[in-house]
Structure 1
Amino acid sequence: MSEPLHGTPGNGALSLVPKADGKQSGKDFKTDQEVRWCPGCGDYAILAAVQTFLPELGLRRENICFVSGIGCSSRFPYYMNTYGFHSIHGRAPAIATGLAASRPDLSVWVVTGDGDALSIGGNHLIHALRRNVNLKILLFNNRIYGLTKGQYSPTSEVGKVTKSTPMGSLDAPFNPISLAIGAEGTFVARTIDSDRKHLQSVLRAAAQHQGTALVEIYQNCNIFNDGAFDPLKDPEVRDDVTVRLEHGEPIVFGADRGKALRRSASGGFEVVRTADVDASEIVVHDARDPDPSLAFALSRLDSPAFEHTPIGVFRQVERPSYDEQLRAQLDEAAEREGPGDLAALLGGGDTWRIDA
């Protein structure tokens, strides 16, 4: 059996977050606000999964915060009975960074979409990942701008016909998983809105991770991009096109587990029939490998036709988080220089002098 990818409650990222006084249920995390997305939107499924998962963590609701940007997904904080911040377009990771760095007693979550995170917010996203701030980023990817009524997004496929690309998109799309791994993200995963069991297992691992965790969630927009992920949901074909990644396990998939991955001569992967290769040739998934090349190569398996799409945790490695290093620097400075007096500093002379 493979080694679990998440720690035990109370460890790692959650060690400084106060615990709830009693047992919680999903109802405790629902607000009195009417949930207002288009009927059939995948956001409903993600909201329900998060609300029923959070009680497992046993944290005080007052010490959980959801920060969002702009977009359909960014309504999320209104529907979570926790603290929340509906911020500005693309800037949710920056605001969440300040919150996580200054309040180690909080569990901080970012909810964003493919347009919000990867267009105007791309800079903030990659630097949050690079710094390894202790926050969890849920990136709802529906490959379209839904709130503004159907323009192409940074993850829309080449040739996508939309209101803003009537002759088809010319842009090569981002692969969010590749982008996150390239930015040295320490926890990078993908899941699907309609697979609650898998979605919650990934959320569980992300919550326990010390540092930035990015979870890409394939989310259906049934109004402007309906059916974008049907091959991954159709019982007839999903097992043949979905590669489920499990740490420490051989990468074998297919309805009858008749397909496997092995290294190709070019250094990437090739799909082979399980019966045609020796077990030693099959790639064993190692999410904890410090070298990101395996995880990156796995992220490139997708094709526009979704011939093979990996889901699960691509990478989970340990690296000191930005906020814990920041606190250590502040403690060192206070020990060396003594406690500061902000009021005296601000109320002092017109100029400040800093001696080397």
Structure 2
Amino acid sequence: METATADKIETKYVQKDYKSDVNVRWCPGCGDFAILSCVHKAMAELNIHPHETVVVSGIGCSSRLPYYMNTYGFHGIHGRAAAIATGVKVANPNLNVWVTTGDGDSLAIGGNHFIHAVRRNVDINIILFNNKIYGLTKGQYSPTSDRGFISKSSPYGTIEDPFRPSELCFGARGTFFARAIDVDMKNTTEIMVAAAKHKGASVVEVLQNCIIFNNGIHDKIADRAWKAEKTVMLRHGEKMLFGKENDRGIVLDGWNLKAVTLGEEGYTIDDVLVHDATTPDNTLHIKLSLMGYDNDLPVALGVIRSVDSPSYDSDYEEQIAEVQRKTGKQSFTDFLMSSAHIWEIK
């Protein structure tokens, strides 16, 4: 839809503008459907031009997503989505570049590409579907599968400790990390919008259900019956409150975090931490992101970290412009044809 302004025609996009006419082929009940819908909604809210948007993927169920987008898309090979997306963004910084990837695709064969894209702070939006299983190849354990997990490739249980995506992100000095649940579409969309607005590499881990090979893997926090007691939605500048009555909170207990009930043990609202997603020190962000793994704390959802830092593509552009200014060479051809790089053969 287009609306006229004083000096230009402004396009207002809606959700359907980002949908392709390709039939969506995921298993009925798969969490990927919800994530796809959230991507469409987020792009509409951002009002980004479809023709200036690229969705890149690797291999896996999640990596079918570019086919269902009315944008440019690139279906890469296994684990290489972050590397391809980096090239796209550096070649044309004006493009909005998104990566859709799974826990196997990005954290196994694509692990190095993932951490280096985060380390470089390339301005791409990485949506990491985490169902703790290899779904497309029919149910093998993945890098995020829990120790002891029984699968087709670990019939007696895995004897490995899993990767935690947030730890990898923070270990690579990531500037943006958020977490969402596939069934919570309102907050997932809100988180994707925040990720896209962040200048630099954003990582959104979506806890997603594989209904065929790992059904219910996130039920302990996603089920409506107890979700309010098992998760805390973090928002910058707000108290870390949770619970059905919003009467529980996260407080500091020495060096550790602790979940308390207000009015018990002498704790009041004043003791509850206020979330600061923008502090450069990631110590508390790491602690928040690891809640609920090996402890009785609720799982943190929302934007856990969002810190301003120079992005790789912007610095790269500035560096090229500076070299062009100093040398007078405007292109690679100019560089090659300069006297210092021409040899006369006699």
TM-score when normalising by structure 1: 0.89
Q: For residues 348 and 318 of structure 1, do their structure 2 counterparts lie closer, same or farther at Cα, with a shift above 3 Å needed?
A: closer
**Percent of aligned pairs with the same residue?**
47
- How far the C-alpha of 1:348 sits from its partner, in A, is 8.8
- How far the C-alpha of 1:304 sits from its partner, in A, is 5.8
Counterpart of 2:262 (choices 269, 274, 283) is 274
Partner of 2:290: 300
Q: Secondary structure at the match of 2:191?
A: helix
- How far the C-alpha of 1:59 sits from its partner, in A, is 2.1
* Distance in structure 1 (CA, Å) of the matches to 2:120 and 2:309: 10
Q: For residues 213 and 20 of structure 1, do their structure 2 counterparts lie closer, same or farther at Cα, with a shift above 3 Å needed?
A: farther
Q: What code does the residue aligned with 1:324 have?
A: S
Q: Secondary structure at the match of 1:189?
A: strand
* Distance in structure 2 (CA, Å) of the matches to 1:163 and 1:27: 39
Partner of 1:317: 307
* Distance in structure 2 (CA, Å) of the matches to 1:337 and 1:255: 64
Given that residues 21 and 60 in structure 1 are in contact (C-alpha distance below 8 angstroms), is that contact kept between their aligned partners in structure 2? Answer: no
In the alignment, structure 1 residue 75 sits paired with structure 2 residue 64: yes
Q: For residues 29 and 272 of structure 1, do their structure 2 counterparts lie closer, same or farther at Cα, with a shift above 3 Å needed?
A: same
Q: What code does the residue aligned with 2:210 have?
A: C
Unaligned runs of 5+ in 2: 1-7
In the alignment, structure 1 residue 50 sits paired with structure 2 residue 69: no
Query: What aligned pairs does 1:1-356 form with structure 2 within 5 A after superposition?
Result: 21-265=10-254, 267-276=255-264, 277-303=267-293, 308-343=298-333
Given that residues 231 and 306 in structure 1 are in contact (C-alpha distance below 8 angstroms), is that contact kept between their aligned partners in structure 2? Answer: no
* Distance in structure 1 (CA, Å) of the matches to 2:41 and 2:305: 25
Note the aligned Cα RMSD (angstroms): 2.0
- How far the C-alpha of 1:101 sits from its partner, in A, is 1.2
* Distance in structure 2 (CA, Å) of the matches to 1:255 and 1:168: 35
Q: Secondary structure at the match of 1:85?
A: strand
Q: What code does the residue aligned with 1:229 have?
A: H
Q: Deviation string for 1:128-164 (max 9, x for gaps)?
A: 1111111100000000000000000011011100000
* Distance in structure 2 (CA, Å) of the matches to 1:98 and 1:352: 29
Q: For residues 192 and 340 of structure 1, do their structure 2 counterparts lie closer, same or farther at Cα, with a shift above 3 Å needed?
A: same
Q: Secondary structure at the match of 1:67?
A: strand
Q: What code does the residue aligned with 2:98 have?
A: W
Q: What code does the residue aligned with 2:262 have?
A: T
Given that residues 277 and 304 in structure 2 are in contact (C-alpha distance below 8 angstroms), is that contact kept between their aligned partners in structure 1? Answer: yes
Paired residue total: 334
Q: Deviation string for 1:233-286 (max 9, x for gaps)?
A: 222211100111111111111111222111122x12011122131333221111
* Distance in structure 1 (CA, Å) of the matches to 2:67 and 2:15: 15
Instruction: With a CA cutoff of 8 Å and minimum separation of 6, indicate the structure with the bigger relative contact order.
Output: 1
